[in-house]
Chain A
Amino acid sequence: MTVPEQSSSPLPMIRFNGVTKTYDAGRPAVDDLTMDIDCGEITVFVGPSGCGKTTSLRMINRMVEPTSGTILLDGQDVSQQKASELRRSMGYVMQSSGLMPHRSVIDNIATVPRLNGVPRTEARARARELLDVVGLASELGRRYPGQLSGGQQQRVGVARALAADPPVLLMDEPFSAVDPVVRAELQEELLRLQRDLAKTIVFVTHDIDEATILGDKVAVFAVGGRLAQFAAPEEILRAPVDDFVAGFVGRDRGFRHLSFQEGRHVTVHPIETIEVEQLGDPTVSVLSPWTLLVDADGRPHGWVPQATRSSITTQAEAVPGGSLYTRGDTLRRALDAALSSPSGLGVTVDDDGRAIGVVRAAEVFDLIESARVDRGRADHNTAV
């Protein structure tokens, strides 16, 4: 067993050391993987199918044994540990929730503590707490998994993985089988949980968007089990290391990268508004080409163009608005609000959803450009 060198930085939670996995003497599924996964962070393995990301994940808990190389968990070679006990020391969430159909939700969550010999009542009490942690009503605990929706099953899967309070969570495409709305919810929940729990999470996905949303670090795998790039998501999008990574992160990567640029400095301009109740009153005229329609609480409900003001008497007749930009959110949201708005003005709201003004696409572009120049100076110590 190789002992990792002492360094000033803390020991990585998981270390891959020259790990190769070959099936039946064919091409390697994972090719000489060496990487350190830091404690308390979300590390995302992303890549196309057949790139070895799931195989790599499963070698951590010995569901797959490497052909050569070692994997250290907290400094200990995993191959020296009893497989079943090693697996109980890590949470595991899988794509199709993998819940036991013959066990109630509570007993599913209590699985690992029960395997560890925790008495049934104690394990169930802990499981009930976890239902609440993952945002499920306690009465769902008595149901069977087949009686839950896909999103609820995934939440139970997360709760089950957390039940023995393991320091490491392995998540194998856990959200890929649910619809996009539920997926976004689950991603947000995971980030919220992670703020409280600070687990070391290894997360496998084929979705680069999911990778950049969730990952503190992103490992992009190429076909043939080669680790192409391992960096912060912002860096992967801004500076892909080769053509493969550039191609994989896709042609929207420039736009996606805006998610990492904060919009604190975007100028918010005032905008003329008209209230829903005033629409029916023909004496209330509008002066701007585009006037924002708001309700009594100041929440935006679309646009009233000056040209057609006289024909708009109810909220339903107003021109529907674009996406909303919450003040201080990322440049991506600011730009999208402006581009999706029929008036070209991105409606900006405060944290309570009340309209406070508009942002202009051109000004967002100016900010993007000056941020790029600043970065260039920092990176190359020169004007760009």
Chain B
Amino acid sequence: MDWIQGVIDYVPANAALLRELTGNHLVQSILPIVFGVIIAVPLAQIARLNRSAGAVMLTASSLLYTIPSLAMFVFLPLVLGTSILSMVNVVVALTIYAVALLMRSTVDALNSIDDGVRQAAVAMGYTPLRRFLTVDLPLAVPVLIAGIRVISVTNISMVSVGALIGVPSLGRLFTDGLTRNYPEQIAVGIIATLLLALVLDLLLVLLERVLTPWTRATSSRTARAAALDARTVAA
């Protein structure tokens, strides 16, 4: 069990490097999620309003998703004029993937809203933009966050691939560990990646709970109300 001791010893000895790589890794994972949501939500609404454009957009986004990440990391500097080592390449690539995934799930999320609620919003006199922002979007949050959770896990693992071409992230622990034949370093990399994925997922679950208080209130209170009814009937 020497290697476990090796892993434990590795962390304090390389704390500064770990902090830096974790920071880089987080930036490259989270920024694409934020940009992805900002871009995908309006696109999804456009896709819903214009069916033919929507069909083209959804097909195009699915095609983009099939481009291998490594190819994207190598190709993007040519398009963007960035250095091959720049984190921008990874952020842009993962944003494209995030948009591709989120657009479809956002369309589904917006389509899942009860038509009666939407009709009511129209009848109450909401303007289209206000209805989208204050009725459609909040109600789409649960499905939207389900999509974001998938993307967050995928991003955490895909960011590591950037290390192959030298973009700094926790992936460097793998490339470095491989060339130096240093399994403890690889193990630390795996554990750190897993922890990041878990923490990010937990934060997203918390975010959903904060944004959708009505979903829990409804299920728990309905159960309580049903129990109350049952008691009344029994009495």
Task: Give the B-binding residues of A (Cβ under 8 A).
Answer: 61, 63, 83-89, 92, 94-103, 111-112, 115, 143-144, 146-147, 149, 160, 170
Contact = CB atoms under 8 A, between A and B. Distances in A.
A88 B125 contact: yes
Q: Which of B117, B125, B222 has the most CB of A within 10 A?
A: B125
A63 B117 contact: no
Contact of B120 (A85, A88, A94): A94
Nearest to A92: B123
Contact of B123 (A96, A98, A100, A103): A98
A147 B217 contact: yes
Chain B contact patch, size range: 20 to 34
Contacts of B114: 96, 101
Nearest to B120: A98
Contact of B122 (A63, A103, A147): A63
A52 B55 CA distance: 33
Contacts of A99: 117, 120
Contacts of A143: 217, 221
A144 B215 CA distance: 9
Q: Which of A92, A102, A112, A143 has the most CB of B within 10 A?
A: A102
Main secondary structure of the interface of B (DSSP, over half): helix
Q: Which of B120, B130, B135 has the most CB of A within 10 A?
A: B120
A147 B221 contact: yes
B150 to A, nearest CB: 23
Contacts of B121: 100
9 contacts: A83-B125, A88-B124, A88-B125, A94-B119, A97-B116, A102-B138, A112-B125, A146-B221, A149-B225
B119 A144 contact: no
Given A98-B116, A100-B135, A84 B125 contact: yes
Contacts of B120: 92, 94, 97-100
B52 interface: no
Interface in B131-175: 135, 138-139
A279 B121 CA distance: 62
A83 B122 CA distance: 9
B123 A144 contact: no
A112 B124 contact: yes
Given A86-B125, A102-B214, A170-B123, 20 more contacts: A63-B122, A88-B125, A94-B120, A97-B116, A97-B120, A98-B120, A99-B117, A100-B121, A101-B139, A101-B214, A101-B218, A103-B214, A111-B124, A112-B124, A143-B221, A144-B214, A146-B217, A146-B218, A147-B221, A160-B124
